[in-house]
Amino acid sequence: MQFQVPQFIDVEDKIIGPLSLRQFLYIAAAGIVVFLSFFVLVFWIWILVAVFAGATGIALAFIKYNNQPLPRILWFAFLYLWRPRLYLWQRELKDRVIEFRYKEPSSRKAFLEMSSVKKLWQDLMTTKAPIPKREKSIAAAKWRSASREKFQLFRKVTGDREIAKRVDYR
């Protein structure tokens, strides 16, 4: 099942020729002001009013700044001037009651209370025999390390000599 997704949702519909309804209403309002002022005002004052009203209507209809129409910018400017600009941040104080009933033991005590961990801890501290599957026997480790470990003298790029341990992982 296919659905059509609207593509240009930020573009206003063109209703009256190349103008949207909002643009047409701004220009029509300016035209009505110019028409009515012709009968009321003297000619030279009428010219000033006509130029001012026409420029205002065209500006409101067509000017956009940062992809925002001019009426919206003017509305936000009005709200900025009208509303108070003192911003204070105060933390809301809420009464919180927290009760602690359980006293947490120290970490060593809690660690030793677990039976398997306690047994392992005692074995690690007191026994000389290796713990199966956890430690390797010391004799086997010494025998292997003696056969594979070699020390070699090498020279650095700076010319210094240094002895380093060489380990073969074969």
Provide, for the chain, the percentages of residues in helix, strand and coil under a 3-state DSSP scheme, each rounded to the nearest 5. 50, 15, 40
95 inside domain: no
pLDDT of residue 166: 67
Kind and range of the H or E run holding 146: helix 138-148
Outline where DSSP puts E strands in 7-73: 14-16, 19-20, 64-65, 68-69
Q: Where in the sequence is the domain holding 69, given as residue range(s)?
A: 14-81
| Residues 116 and 66 both lie in one domain | no
103 part of a folded domain:
no
Closest CA to 12 of 3, 25, 2: 25
Same-domain status, 77 and 133: no
Q: What are phi and psi of 100, to 5 degrees?
A: -110, 115
Q: In the prediction, which pLDDT does 77 show? A: 93
Shared domain for 63 and 115, answered yes or no, is no
In a domain, 101, yes or no: no
* Tokens coding 5: 């997704």
Same domain, 21 and 68: yes
Does residue 59 share a domain with residue 23?
Answer: yes
DSSP designation for 7 = S
Is 43 within the bounds of a domain?
Answer: yes
Q: Residue 90 has what pLDDT?
A: 73
pLDDT of residue 64: 92
Q: Where are the beta strands (DSSP E) in 68-133?
A: 68-69
Q: Is residue 75 part of a domain?
A: yes
Domains: count for the chain: 2
pLDDT of residue 92: 74
In a domain, residue 104? The reply is no
pLDDT, one tens digit for every residue, the chain (170 residues): 888 888 877 778 888 888 999 999 999 999 999 999 999 999 999 999 999 999 999 999 999 999 899 999 999 999 989 987 777 777 777 777 766 666 655 666 666 566 677 777 777 777 666 666 555 555 555 555 555 566 677 777 777 777 777 666 65
Establish if 29 belongs to a structural domain. yes
Same domain, 114 and 150: yes
In a domain, 49, yes or no: yes
Give how far Cα 79 sits from Cα of 23, 69, 84, Å. 23, 16, 9
Please give the angle made by the CA atoms of 44, 50 and 53, to the nearest 5 degrees.
140
